[in-house]
Amino acid sequence: MAKITFKKDNIVAEAAPGTHLMNICDEKGVNVQFSCRAGSCVSCLITIESGMENLSPPGEVEKMTLEAFGCQPNQRLACQVIVNGDVVIN
Ligand code: FES
């Protein structure tokens, strides 16, 4: 199981590798705001403290959005991420 730590919310979740982060957030009541759920609005922007290598790489839509909004290399869109291992989200 992958361990997903949401530091701001003080929530630690476990999920099978391959689980969509959005589903984990919904299930655990994590305070990430989802709007479009399609990678185009950045309302679900999160900062990865560690474990970036355990996340699915950004697809074209996410890449374009992150770039357009001037996001940092350690930021991802929670609605686009699949968790494959441990991660700490700040
Ligand atoms: S909810 Fe819009 S980019 Fe994730």
Which atom of ligand 1 lies closest to the CA of 42?
A: 3
Q: How many residues does the chain have?
A: 90
- Domains recognised in the chain with CATH numbers: 2-89 (3.10.20.30)
Model confidence pTM above 0.85 = yes
DSSP string across 43-83: TTEEEEEE-GGGBPPP-HHHHHHHHHTT--TTEEEGGG-EE
* pLDDT (0 to 100) of residue 56: 98
Is the minimum distance from the CB of 41 to ligand 1 under 6 angstroms? yes
Pairing between β-strand 82-83 and β-strand 19-20 as defined by DSSP bridges: antiparallel
The series of mean pLDDT values per 10 residues for the chain, 90 residues long, is 97 98 97 97 97 98 97 98 97
* pLDDT (0 to 100) of residue 48: 98
Is the minimum distance from the CB of 75 to ligand 1 under 6 angstroms? no
Please give the Cα distance from 86 to 71 (Å, whole number): 22
